[in-house]
Amino acid sequence: MNADIEKERLRPIRRHGCSDIQLYQAVSWIYTVFDMIISFMIAFLMDEGVKEFMLIVLTILTMGIIYTCLRATLIDPTDSIVLKEQNFKLKGLEFKTDLKTYCLVCQAHVMEKSKHCFSCNKCVEVFDHHCIWLNNCIGIKNYNYFFILVILLVIFKCLRIIQDILLLLNYAFQILALISIILDPPILFVLSYLLGMHLFFKYKGISTYDWIKMKKDKEKLKVQQQQQLPKMNESAGYGQLLSTSKRFDLKSSLSNKTDNKVPQQNFFPKPLPLQVSKNQNLSGPQVTQLQSIFTNKPTSPNNNEQLRKEYEEVDGRQIFNKVIAEDSEPQQNSDSRNEENDHEIDNEIEIEIQNKNEQSEKEQN
């Protein structure tokens, strides 16, 4: 950054459009002068009455175009605050101002709407745009001359097209008329578009720079909005209902529950399944075995609390396994696998209860 600023400071400053002639500037001047000469030649070939009127109008337009073009080109649009501060520094005086904007390249304070033009390497007061055809920046000091120049060029081109049509009707200088008709309408369209844009800018109270900046800001905003759009998954189900943070919190709470084994009060205890002995006939009537009656081991609050803890632990593991299975497996197979997990967990519960009943029977015997 500092290296770029130092390079810009070493570059020469273009005070006005005639400091160094550029290619586009030379082409525009040569074409305009050539077009004016042709327009006067065609005016002298017209009939009496029309010729005088045409010559008067062309003279006024030509003088106006030359004057406004020179004024817009030769005026230095540099910020007046920059010029004052530089003069103060050359004299060794201190420059005091309330302005907060500062240009690092010009090394001076500038007005709020002033912008640094890197083509001319200077800060332009109320910067509008840099005109390559005039080889100068357009600011508040030369904008009015530039605007009048565009209006005069549009009127002049309309008059030139009328001359070309008259040449074709009179069958004189047809080759010159054809060349002019090929060149003049596109140039008139560009000038009319330029005039319409600046009329629109005057109506809105903005500059060309402001309009270009707003256009770029809108494009950047559209790009940012497209990048921030949420990407929805194609699959539907549990994964879309819960966000990543909620699912993580659910897993954490379930894991803490199974690890810490925090007991919760169960108002609806599950009934004990039927214990079938190896020698008992399965086809006979089945009787629900109550542990407090048919076992010597009495039922106590501690035993009930221990069984309740075991059931709650199994239930917590069952819910936890469901969440993990839905995260790790495809959504389309989640229902079938959850049913299998439920069946396996029920089998494990039955096996544990059977083992405890067998142990109690052995102690009774």
User: Could you read off the pLDDT of 129-165 as tens digits, one per residue?
Assistant: 999 999 999 999 999 999 999 999 999 999 999 888 8
147 or 112, which is more confident? 147
359 or 159, which is more confident? 159
With cut-offs at 50, 70 and 90, classify the pLDDT of residue 254. low
With cut-offs at 50, 70 and 90, classify the pLDDT of residue 32. very high
In the chain, alpha helices (H):
2-10, 23-44, 50-74, 80-91, 143-170, 174-204, 208-228, 238-241, 244-260, 291-294, 301-328, 334-364
Rounded CA-CA distance 359/312 in Å is 22
Rounded CA-CA distance 81/52 in Å is 49
Coil, helix or strand for 44? helix
Q: What is the pLDDT of residue 323?
A: 53
Q: What is the pLDDT of residue 130?
A: 92
Percent of the chain with pLDDT over 90: 29
- The region of weakest confidence among 84-88, 103-107, 258-262, 353-357 is 258-262
Coil, helix or strand for 170? helix
With cut-offs at 50, 70 and 90, classify the pLDDT of residue 7. confident
Rounded CA-CA distance 87/73 in Å is 24
How confident is the model over 176-181, as a mean pLDDT? 79
152 or 350, which is more confident? 152
User: Could you read off the pLDDT of 78-107 as tens digits, one per residue?
Assistant: 998 998 988 888 888 888 888 888 888 888
CA 358, distance to chain mean position in Å, is: 72
Is pTM, for the whole model, over 0.85?
no
With cut-offs at 50, 70 and 90, classify the pLDDT of residue 250. low
200 or 236, which is more confident? 200
Rounded CA-CA distance 105/76 in Å is 18
Does the pLDDT value for residue 294 go beyond 50?
A: no
316, 321, 322, 327: CA torsion to nearest 10: 130
How confident is the model over 193-213, as a mean pLDDT? 93
Query: Which structure tokens are listed for 265?
Result: 């009060």
How confident is the model over 36-62, as a mean pLDDT? 88
72 close to 142: Cβ distance less than 8 angstroms:
yes
How confident is the model over 263-283, as a mean pLDDT? 47
Q: What is the end-to-end Cα distance of the chain in Å, rounded?
A: 93
- The region of weakest confidence among 10-19, 171-180, 281-290, 355-364 is 281-290
182 or 319, which is more confident? 182
Does the pLDDT value for residue 46 go beyond 60?
A: yes
Does the pLDDT value for residue 220 go beyond 50?
A: yes
Q: Please identify which residue in the block is written with the tokens 């897993």.
A: 251
User: Could you read off the pLDDT of 18-29 as tens digits, one per residue?
Assistant: 888 889 999 999
How confident is the model over 258-284, as a mean pLDDT? 48
Average pLDDT, the chain: 76
Which stretches does DSSP call E strand in 94-160?
A: 102-103, 108-109, 115-117, 122-124, 129-131, 136-138
